[in-house]
Amino acid sequence: MSRLPVLDGDGLRARLPMGAAIEAIHLALRSGLDPSADPARTVVPADHGQILVMPSLTPAHAGVKLITVTPDNPERGLPRVQGVYLLLDALTLTPHLVLDGAALTAIRTPAVSAAAADLIAVNEASRLVVFGTGPQAWGHIEALRVVRPVSDVTVVGRNGNRVAELVGRCVAAGLRATAGSPDAVADADLVACCTTARTPLFDGGKLAPHATVLAIGSHEPDSREVDTATVTRGEVIVEDIPTALREAGDVVLPIGEGALRPDDLIPLTSLARGEKRLDPSTPKVFKSVGMAWQDLAVAALLA
């Protein structure tokens, strides 16, 4: 087999604008996609982290992502998330392209959140609160600007230097930006939770009735970024109900408490296809765990 083309992070970002990635997610959601059709994510515990394997198939393409998550890597000067993505032809399963898996994740995850926000957030949403300071935090700022008139950003994080760096990056990009505390959610139109937290980041009782929360940090049933008040005050949208019930602690834990029911969850596809209308008088929560079809929808743009 001849040498496969390889796209590193810089090459991937140069060829894959965020707006195109968001539109790819929209098209996939409207296409009749069944998010449950792909195999479940395989999680292999390792001594110092996890190895995740995520395959997906469409009539035109196939793909598989192998990602590693190593919590202590930042202390070693290495990324917490690393990996590769292999894009294949669906008919012959011939490998076409190898991508930087972490860079793909850094684009597709914000693209999914932005596609969801485009379906559920108020049109005039301009005030964004971001929890976290890593690649996903900046990615969500970049993506949400594509779908809503975001002009004000409040960054909430544990490391003051990293908060200041992200605030500076926002200002350089033409945004008004400040460091803030969790209470900033009271004035937010959009809240993006982009952390590795295992316990809630803020008091959901303080959310404005029109607010939209995007929770993307966890794919484990025993961890959560948002509290029970957040998911019971309004409507909860998920990528796929069976997957959320298996992997999303933000909904699994409230269901276990008896505060939320599986029937309360709204699949994102029902909004994309116009099958469901939301109540404009309550907060909205989009809980994402990241799914293989999303990687393939975005990676296929490079085929």
- Every domain of the chain and the residues it spans: 6-104+294-302, 112-291
Q: Which amino acid is at 22?
A: I
Which CATH architecture describes the domain 6-104+294-302?
Answer: 2-Layer Sandwich (3.30)
pLDDT value for 258: 96
pLDDT value for 256: 96
Query: Which residues have a Cβ under 8 Å from the Cβ of 254 and sit 6 or more positions away?
Result: 228, 231, 232, 260
Tell me the C-alpha distance between 221 and 249, whole Å.
Answer: 4
pLDDT value for 74: 87
Residues 85-107 have pLDDT tens digits of 999 999 999 999 999 999 999 99
Residues 26-36 have pLDDT tens digits of 999 999 889 99
Residues 207-234 have pLDDT tens digits of 999 999 999 987 889 999 999 999 999 9
* DSSP letter, residue 116: H
CATH code of domain 112-291 = 3.40.50.720
Q: Tell me what the mean pLDDT of segment 270-291 comes to.
A: 95
Query: Which residues have a Cβ under 8 Å from the Cβ of 202 and sit 6 or more positions away?
Result: 131, 182, 183, 185, 191, 226, 227, 230
pTM reported for the whole predicted model: 0.95
Asked if residue 291 has pLDDT above 70, the reply is: yes
Q: Tell me what the mean pLDDT of segment 130-137 comes to.
A: 95
3-state secondary structure of 15: helix
Share of the chain above pLDDT 70, in %: 99
Is residue 161 exposed (0-12), middle (13-18) or buried (19+ Cβ within 10 Å)? exposed
pLDDT value for 2: 62
Tell me the C-alpha distance between 211 and 278, whole Å.
Answer: 13
Residue pair 115/293 in contact (Cβ under 8 Å)? The answer is: no
Tell me the C-alpha distance between 100 and 3, whole Å.
Answer: 16
Asked if residue 1 has pLDDT above 90, the reply is: no
What does the mean pLDDT of the chain come to?
Answer: 95
